[in-house]
Amino acid sequence: DTAVSQTPKYLVTQMGNDKSIKCEQNLGHDTMYWYKQDSKKFLKIMFSYNNKELIINETVPNRFSPKSPDKAHLNLHINSLELGDSAVYFCASSHGDRGGGETQYFGPGTRLLVL
C-alpha cells in the first residue's frame, strides 16, 4: 500500500527520444509535484498541480509537459530528451492547503539516464 508510487524506477534511453514517467498517490491529496535531483543531489521543483490544475511551473523547458488525468495521478512527459535531462525525478504529494507549510510525501524516484 505504497503512498506515492512512480514508474519506471529506472529509465535508460537515447538522446532525442520521448519518454514518460508516471506517478500515483493513494493518500487522497489534492496537490502533486515533480522535482528534479541533479548529479550534485540538488533538488528543485519543476511543476505542481492542485486538483488537476497547474499552479507551479518553474522555468522548465517546453519539452517537459506534465499531465494530470485526475488528482491522484501526475505524469511527466519529456520530448526530445537531452543529455542534461539525466537526473532523478521525484514525484510528491501533499494535502493541498493553499497556505503552504504542508508535509510533502515523496515517491521513490525515477532515475533517468540519457545516452
User: What Rg do the C-alpha atoms of the chain give, in angstroms?
Assistant: 13
Q: Whole-angstrom Cα distance, residue 45 to residue 56?
A: 9
Please, what is the minimum distance in Å from the beta carbon of residue 69 to another protein? 19
109 lines the binding site for another protein (CB under 8 A): yes
Residue 85 CA, chain-centre distance (Å), reads: 13
Q: Report, in Å, the least distance between residue 40 CB and another protein.
A: 7
Instruction: State yes or no: residue 45 binds another protein (CB under 8 A).
Output: yes
Which of residues 13, 65, 86, 104 is near another protein by CB under 8 A?
104
**Binders of another protein in range 82-101 (CB under 8 A):** 90, 92, 94, 96-101
- Which set of grid coordinates corresponds to residue 21? 514517467
Coil vs helix vs strand at 26 = coil
Read off the amino acid at residue 106: F
66 in Cβ contact with 54 (< 8 Å): yes
Shortest distance, CB of residue 8 to another protein, whole angstroms?
15
Residues that bind another protein in the complex, under the rule CB under 8 A: 4, 31, 33, 40-45, 48, 50, 55-56, 90, 92, 94, 96-109
